[in-house]
Structure 1
Amino acid sequence: MLIDLHVHSRHTQGCALEVRDVLRRAREEGLDGVVFTDLNGLEALPEARAAAKEEGVLGLVGAELVTDHGHYLCYFPEPEKVPAPAQLFGTPPWPVREVLARVTALGGAVVAAHPYDKTIDRPCGDFIFTLDGLAAVEGLHARKRGPANDLAIEAADHLNLPCVAGSGALGSLDELGKAATLFRRPVASEADLVAQLKAGTVHCVAIGVTPQPAEAARRGPRRDERGGRGDRRGGRRERR
């Protein structure tokens, strides 16, 4: 199944996308489903449940939480039972280690969202190598340009974590259908999604992108694009 794991709706400040319109466009683009990950909230849940039935496409809900070290996509097996993030953590930005611990304690899965995105306040960057409890890294965010995606993929490789992908759709329905995550087994609920993320049986997929020549694909980002490395303690693991 192809599912866009990172989509916003009108419940994210600055976004005007209607839940129903997003699901309709996702179906037209050939996606099997989307996950609404509005900023710091799960408010899209009732609309997504109703619209998914009418549009005949999977509509799930998670949240993109803002922390003191980057943004994180959080998925819960039973989002209906999860308190609002403000009730869980107080006023954002929240301590990233607390977010990881609380979401994991609730049975959820946490994905580092565009960790090398310098357009946001307090990006994660190499701090990702000090974190425990991540299920995956967003290696492909369709709206990001430059080395951000390449560095995220490299970080996932060092951490021995799977990469996922999403459009990050925010400003236009035209942003949908550019990237998605391939799930090996059927997904019918947030619980199914969380289980497969934790099992690592997922792959990021770029849609409608012409592959790079072999030489360009082998050539990673230049050292001067990367900036300095941070502390990797506890982060770099043996490759399986």
Structure 2
Amino acid sequence: MKFDLHVHTSISPCSQLPLEDIIAQAKERGLSGVCITDHDTMEVRHFLQEGLQDNGLCVIFGMEYATGEGDFLLFGPYEQLQPGLAAPELLRHVEKTGGIAVAAHPFRGSRPTREYLIDHGLCGIVEGINGRNRQHENDSVSSWRDRYGVKQVGGSDAHSLEELGRVTTRFQQPIRSRDELINALKNSSYTPERS
């Protein structure tokens, strides 16, 4: 199954991507699912039912949560997550509540993920390929894979229709819900891929 784990709708102030276009185009581009990860909100839940859509696409809600020590894709019960948490506090909360956090674009120059969060085991999954990163930013992730054994996913970080599905994560088992995604990210193997 191919999922784009990092997609922004027009709910994010920096995105021009309508939700309806994501649903219509993702399936045509060979995706099994998309994760809506708007900036610091899961407001999308007010406009769409999470899960399998009429066209067979699985839509899962998450969010991209910004901290001063990096951005994180969060999947779990975070519809009402308090803003402004420091990264260690956020990551401990995610672990405690059974969710999962992915370090988003960890080597992006504007707001990189602090290495101690990986070194201390607070985050064990990183976005190994981000569709909006420069090549050297994606290539740098291999140092953490080699040093810390972190798992890697891929996501387009789509803010426009042209970017949707450019980078995906391939899972070996079916994913039909947020819980199944969390379980797969914690317990299964997967690989980031460029389209």
Query: Is contact 1:41–1:63 with CA below 8 Å preserved after alignment?
Result: yes
Query: Is contact 1:45–1:61 with CA below 8 Å preserved after alignment?
Result: yes
Deviation at 1:52, TM superposition (A): 5.1
Cα distance, 1:100–1:51 mapped onto 2, change above 3 Å: closer
Question: What percent identity do the matched residue pairs reach?
Answer: 30
Query: Is contact 1:73–1:112 with CA below 8 Å preserved after alignment?
Result: yes
The one-letter code sitting in structure 1 at the alignment partner of 2:104 is: A
Unaligned runs of 5+ in 1: 208-240
**Higher-helix-fraction structure:** 1
Match of 2:80 among 81, 84, 87: 84
Distance 2:146 2:36 in 1: 26
Deviation at 1:128, TM superposition (A): 4.2
- How big is each residue's C-alpha offset from its partner over 1:65-124, in whole Å with a ceiling of 9 and x where there is no partner? 111201011111xx4xx34223xxx4x3x311001011111110111111110034xx22
The one-letter code sitting in structure 2 at the alignment partner of 1:99 is: L
Matched, 1:177 2:168: no
Matched, 1:201 2:192: no
Cα distance, 1:21–1:131 mapped onto 2, change above 3 Å: farther
- How big is each residue's C-alpha offset from its partner over 1:160-202, in whole Å with a ceiling of 9 and x where there is no partner? 12110000001x1010121100111100100000001011421
Distance 1:63 1:167 in 2: 14
* 1:109 corresponding residue in structure 2: 100
Count the aligned residue pairs.
Answer: 195
Please tell me the root mean square deviation across aligned C-alpha atoms, in Å: 1.8
Q: In structure 1, the residue corresponding to 2:60 is in which secondary structure? A: strand
Q: In structure 2, the residue corresponding to 1:3 is in which secondary structure? A: strand
* 1:68 corresponding residue in structure 2: 68
Cα distance, 1:105–1:154 mapped onto 2, change above 3 Å: same
Q: Which deviates the most, 56-65 or 155-164?
A: 155-164
Distance 1:47 1:59 in 2: 12
Unaligned runs of 5+ in 2: none
* 1:156 corresponding residue in structure 2: 145
Distance 2:193 2:96 in 1: 29
Cα distance, 1:152–1:51 mapped onto 2, change above 3 Å: same
The one-letter code sitting in structure 2 at the alignment partner of 1:105 is: K
**Higher-strand-fraction structure:** 2
The one-letter code sitting in structure 2 at the alignment partner of 1:183 is: F
Q: Which ranges of 4 or more aligned residues in structure 1 deviate by more than 3 Å?
A: 125-131
Q: In structure 2, the residue corresponding to 1:21 is in which secondary structure? A: helix
* 2:123 corresponding residue in structure 1: 134
